[in-house]
Amino acid sequence: MKDLTVGNSSRLIFSFAVPMLIGNVFQQFYNIADSIIVGKFIGKEALAAVGASFPLIFMLISFVVGVAMGTTVIIAQYYGAKDMKMVKKSMDTLYIFLFFASIVVTILGILFSKPIFRLINLPADIMPQAVTYFNVYLAGLIFFFGFNGTSAILRGLGDSKTPLYFLIISTVINIVLAVLFVAIFKWGVAGAAFATVIAQAGAFITGIIYLNRTHEVVKLSFRKLEFDWGIFKKSLQIGLPSGFQQTFVALGMLAVMRIVNEFGTDVIAAYSVAGRIDSLAGMPAMNFGVALSTFVGQNLGAGKTDRVKQGFKATLIMSSALALFTTLMVIIFPRALMGLFSSDPAVIEIGSHYLIIVGSFYVFFSTMFVVGGVMRGAGDTLIPMFITLFSLWIIRIPLAWVFSNQMGYMGIWWSIPIAWFVGMVLSYLYYLKGNWKKKVIVRPAKVQPEADTNPPVFE
């Protein structure tokens, strides 16, 4: 565990974010490995099928993940206030919620997968493989929720290294099994999904065994879990806006996917591959934003509001520098990156256009996420939710539809950075207003004096 309420703000956030970033990059390799192996050994139809499944998977898990974020904010604030009893109750409450949520989401997803794929106008040649991959993936959702819940708890406690170790091991297992099931056993897209489920299950079970034996706070016993309605209500207060935000973002992704589907298998495959690269490129911003949320949560819980601005400025500088570096890599080597997933010339060409257009504006996305990290750490999620939904549903989706009619599929690509820019501006204006400072859930009994005698690196 790491106490983020004392010490140099810049170094704390950087050292906390980097292991988490590496871990999430490895987690992205679950999806990336599936796409690469499927694209190389089966073909572009299978690649498009796997890619088309992810917006639907995201839609089903997004509400649960959003609500769970509320509990992790509370854990960070209780830990900052040094109330270990409430930290443990918050952890138990999260695990119980995730268990029942995984069962409900799995059942609903399998029942309605075909109707939803039809609703987004998925081409007939892709549909069977997409449904197969999707249903097998959902069968292991309980392990996905379990491991990600454990990782979120550890991050709330300031520990971003432990989840990394298990992610690395599980990613290697996933890649080995995917090659075995797809390339050797010829199980098709189902093999890729089975590999992911087995790897996630191994990561969750191994992680729980290890933590129960070694960690001083995280001790999970399914027979002794205690659900606290008070904490759950506070979690909903913070998490419901995030849950609704995640859900409507997911629905927005399905709406965009429907527009993309109108252009056929080549564009669907290219969009899927470029989206994987895009997700990887966005990882630094997302993880610095999460690190900043934990930093803000702990310091507000400890009553050290003066450190929040320091942390924000440092995080903004670090994440922007990484965003600019990523932009250079993506726009210089777009075809090489696309070629890792597919050998089809049309798919590579279409995806390269996406990367050059969207990748040129990663700094907008990065800034938007970092600013949002401050609000999430304070427990203020309502206004950021409206900003996100406005950027997506009022800006991106209408522009994608209008531009695609005028410019073809490249019009869809241009709608993305425009929406990021609008979201960035609105988020920063709300940050300047300062209302988020009033949303703290855990109030310290006594404000502790600042023990940070070293000036921040980025000032």
373 is a domain residue? yes
Residues 9-35 have pLDDT tens digits of: 888 888 888 877 887 677 677 667 778
pLDDT tier, 214 (very low <50, low <70, confident <90, very high otherwise) = confident
Task: Inform me whether the pLDDT recorded for 445 exceeds 70.
Answer: no
142 is a domain residue? yes
Q: What is the pTM of this model?
A: 0.72
Task: Inform me whether the pLDDT recorded for 94 exceeds 60.
Answer: yes
Mean pLDDT score of the chain, rounded to an integer? 85
pLDDT tier, 451 (very low <50, low <70, confident <90, very high otherwise) = very low
pLDDT in the model for residue 418: 97
pLDDT in the model for residue 448: 45
Mean of pLDDT values over 51-76: 81
456 is a domain residue? no
Mean of pLDDT values over 26-46: 80
pLDDT tier, 453 (very low <50, low <70, confident <90, very high otherwise) = very low
pLDDT tier, 416 (very low <50, low <70, confident <90, very high otherwise) = very high
Nearest CA-CA partner of 71 in 281, 243, 192: 243
Mean of pLDDT values over 40-52: 87
Q: Please identify which residue in the block is written with the tokens 């994608």.
A: 400
218 is a domain residue? yes
One-letter amino acid of 161: K
24 is a domain residue? yes
Q: Please tell me the number of Cα atoms within 13 Å of 11 on its side-chain side.
A: 9
Task: Inform me whether the pLDDT recorded for 449 exceeds 50.
Answer: no
451 is a domain residue? no
Determine the Cα angle at 173 with ends 171 and 179, to 5°. 105
pLDDT tier, 1 (very low <50, low <70, confident <90, very high otherwise) = low
Count up the domains in the chain and report the number: 1
* In the chain, % of residues over pLDDT 90: 37
Among 121-130, 389-398, 424-433, 440-449, whose mean pLDDT is lowest?
Answer: 440-449
Q: Which helix (H) or strand (E) holds 378?
A: helix 362-378
Give the span between the Cα atoms of 74 and 233, in whole angstroms: 11
pLDDT in the model for residue 456: 39
Out of 193-202, 229-238, 305-314, 415-424, give the one with best mean pLDDT.
415-424
pLDDT tier, 136 (very low <50, low <70, confident <90, very high otherwise) = very high
pLDDT in the model for residue 100: 93
Q: Please identify which residue in the block is written with the tokens 């170094």.
A: 11
422 is a domain residue? yes
Task: Inform me whether the pLDDT recorded for 447 exceeds 50.
Answer: no
* Pair 297, 90: CB distance under 8 Å: no
Task: Inform me whether the pLDDT recorded for 158 exceeds 80.
Answer: no
pLDDT in the model for residue 452: 44
Mean of pLDDT values over 88-96: 88
2 is a domain residue? no
pLDDT in the model for residue 329: 94
Residues 343-379 have pLDDT tens digits of: 899 999 999 999 999 999 999 999 999 998 888 888 7
pLDDT in the model for residue 52: 85
Task: Inform me whether the pLDDT recorded for 454 exceeds 50.
Answer: no
Task: Inform me whether the pLDDT recorded for 109 exceeds 60.
Answer: yes
- Domain that includes residue 105, residue range: 9-438
